[in-house]
Structures are given as structure tokens and as C-alpha cells.
Amino acid sequence: MTQTATADERPTLSTAISEQLRGLIIEGDLAPGSRLNERALCDRLGVSRTPLREAFRVLAAEGLVELTPNRGAQVVALSETDLRDSFELMGSLEALAAELACERITAEELIEIKALTFQMLACHARRDLPSYYQLNRAIHDRINRAARNTVLTQTYAKLNLRIQSLRLRSNFDEGKWAKSARDHERIAALLEARDGVALAALMREHLRAKGETVLEARRREAAS
């Protein structure tokens, strides 16, 4: 990317910047509560301030960034209540998606999810957390898509943006990462069996456990 963008190019440029910033937030490079220094980010991304500010507005609409007059932008830091409510709602959305997917998933979609699960478990065996997480996200996204409910998918996508980085961090504990991997083996098996009731219950518990892990980590950080 260059620092000189025409008016016609700017929307495309701001979209690309939004994607880069979103990735940095999700991966924890830009920590919750941290201020977004425009000059430093312009230098880092090789862009000018106008498309960067447009990207800030996009991320603010997604709930990832907070814009404050005269103070600039910062990464949103969710409160304990926000975290608990978000994971509780996500568990319900995942459970509904699981039930609907068991009714509506195609044979091809099921094969793809099983293949992704196999790859993800291989990443767990290699202790490759970044690749594991990318595959984990792909599996959850595909189950959601297999539900074939547009409003559900849109709601899920928006909420998931707020907590993606926290879902990744919930696997930093070795024991909890192993449990997550075992859960995903069961998810694939229950989806293949089209057992919507059991899969919905597992998804709800899966997200409840992740939420508790995140809250425990938050409390430890606050106490240190």
C-alpha cells in the first residue's frame, strides 16, 4: 500500500486497513484498552491518516474500537459483565446453529468439517496454537453457515468479532486446550450423527467453559 490514495481508491484502502487492524486486535497485537497511535500505525501500515481514520470508524461500528472526541481511538476493553453476557449469548447462538446444522447440513459440508477437524487435531498434537485457532474458527463458521439462517449468521459474526481474541486466549492453558480439542472431536461426531439436542448442549457448555476461562484470567491479571 502507498500513502497516496485517490478518492476512488480510498474505500478499498480503508477496507484493507480495517482487515489488518482487525487481525492485530484479534491476535492480541493491539491489546484491549490500548490507544491507537495514528502516527505509529501510519508508519507501520504504510498509509496516510485519512484511510486509517476511516478504518477506525469501521471497527468502531463493529464494536472493536472506541472513538472519543479529542482523545482519538482505542481498542475496546470489555468489562467482566460484558464478557459474561457475550459468552452466554454466544453459547446460545452456537447451540441454535448446531441444532439447525444437524437438520440442514449437506454431505459435502460435513466432509469438509470433518477434514478441518482432523487438521485441527493435528495442530494440537504439534502444539501449533495459531494454526489450531484458524481451523477452529473455520469449523465454527462452517457449522454456522450450515444452519442456513442469515440473521443468525449476521448476529453471530458481529458478536464473534468482539470476543475472537479472548476465545484464542482461552486455549493458552494446556489442560483447557486439550479439553477444547476433545470437545471438537465430539462436535464432529454429533454433527455426523445429526444429534441436534446433544450437539446444542455441548456447544453451550463449550462456550460456557471458554467464558469462565477468560474471566478467571481477567481476575488473575487484576490481582497481579
Q: Could you report the per-residue pLDDT of 171-196, keeping only the tens digit for each? A: 677 888 899 999 999 999 999 999 99
- Same domain as 194, residue 146: yes
- Tell me the pLDDT tens digit for each residue of 4-52: 444 444 458 889 999 999 888 877 788 888 999 999 999 999 999 999 9
Q: How confident is the model at residue 136 (pLDDT cuts 50, 70, 90)?
A: very high
Prediction pTM value: 0.79
Look at residue 4 and tell me if it is in a domain: no
Q: How confident is the model at residue 170 (pLDDT cuts 50, 70, 90)?
A: low
Residue 59 pLDDT greater than 90, yes or no: yes
- Same domain as 137, residue 39: no
- Same domain as 102, residue 62: no
Judged by average pLDDT, the poorest of 56-60, 100-104, 215-219 is: 215-219
Nearest 5°: CA angle at 16, between 31 and 128?
50
- Same domain as 215, residue 175: yes
- Same domain as 191, residue 96: yes
Look at residue 1 and tell me if it is in a domain: no
CA-wise closest residue to 77 among 158, 157, 162, 171: 162
Look at residue 43 and tell me if it is in a domain: yes
Cell output for 138: 473455520
**Structural domain total, the chain:** 2
What is the sign, positive or negative, of the torsion defined by CA atoms of 162, 69, 81, 130? positive
CA-wise closest residue to 190 among 114, 132, 123, 137: 114
Residue 209 pLDDT greater than 50, yes or no: yes
Look at residue 168 and tell me if it is in a domain: yes
Any residues with CB less than 8 A from the CB of 5 and at least 6 apart, and which?
13, 47, 48, 50, 51
Look at residue 5 and tell me if it is in a domain: no
71: DSSP letter? T
Backbone torsions φ then ψ of 47, nearest 5 degrees: -135, 170
- Same domain as 103, residue 161: yes
66: DSSP letter? E
Look at residue 2 and tell me if it is in a domain: no
Q: Which domain holds residue 65?
A: 10-75
User: What does DSSP say about strands 65-68 and 72-75: parallel, antiparallel, or unpaired?
Assistant: antiparallel
Percent of the chain with pLDDT over 90: 63
- The chain-wide mean pLDDT, for the chain, equals 89
35: DSSP letter? B
- Same domain as 92, residue 27: no
**The pLDDT value given to residue 191:** 98
